[in-house]
Amino acid sequence: MKVALIAVFTAVSLGTNYAMIDIPNVKLMDAFVFIAAFLFGLEVGLGSAISIWLIYGFINPWGQADLIGLFFVTLGECFYAISGALLRRASVARDAVQTNRPYGRMNLLFGLIGFQATFAYDVLTNFGTYVVRTSSLYQALIIGMITGAPLAILHEGSNLFLFATVVPMAIAASKRMGLPIRNAS
């Protein structure tokens, strides 16, 4: 069952990635990885994150990722899975989902969590871009943040919007369908 879920989330993520390929750094896959982990557990989230990048990192119109870059983006993608899995256990998320008028709280909560997970992803991947090109880890961090700022802003802004809209809609829909938020068998 978990393998099937990972396959579905990977397929949907890849499909939307390729459909949105002309818009750099605006992707639904981060939200899908988060949803996978939130609804079905950490293993499904991590499995989806890794599977997505194993394919997207090699079959990509913008070029193939080098191994170091691939490592960092895959690790960064796992942040969304970890965020989703941690949040599903938190009372703040349960309260936001179960309240009678959930949308305001869910929009705010998931939007902020998604925004911050995206910032962490951008810091890590921009650092990874420069870690082999500079003489110190600190330099790699600072230079990565500066040079990566334009695309990072685009990424974080788009994910703030997507996490505040798409994620609550998916979770509310799963709640309406009676899908329990527990580990898949």
Instruction: Give the footprint of another protein on this chain (CB under 8 A).
Output: 22-24, 63-64, 66, 91-92, 95, 105, 108-109, 112-113, 115-116, 119, 130, 132-135, 139-140, 142-143, 145-150, 152-153, 156
23 vs 25: CA distance, rounded Å: 6
Minimum CB separation of residue 166 from another protein in Å reads 18
Q: Left, alpha or beta for 18 (phi > 0: left; psi -120 to 50: alpha)?
A: alpha
Nearer to another protein (CB atom), residue 138 or residue 179: 138
CA dihedral 170, 86, 88, 77 (to 10 degrees): 20
Nearer to another protein (CB atom), residue 59 or residue 132: 132
Nearer to another protein (CB atom), residue 78 or residue 87: 87
Structure tokens at 160: 């703030």
Look up residue 46 and give its amino acid: L
Minimum CB separation of residue 56 from another protein in Å reads 17
Minimum CB separation of residue 66 from another protein in Å reads 8
With tokens 């369908």, the residue in question is 177
Minimum CB separation of residue 69 from another protein in Å reads 11
167 vs 26: CA distance, rounded Å: 15
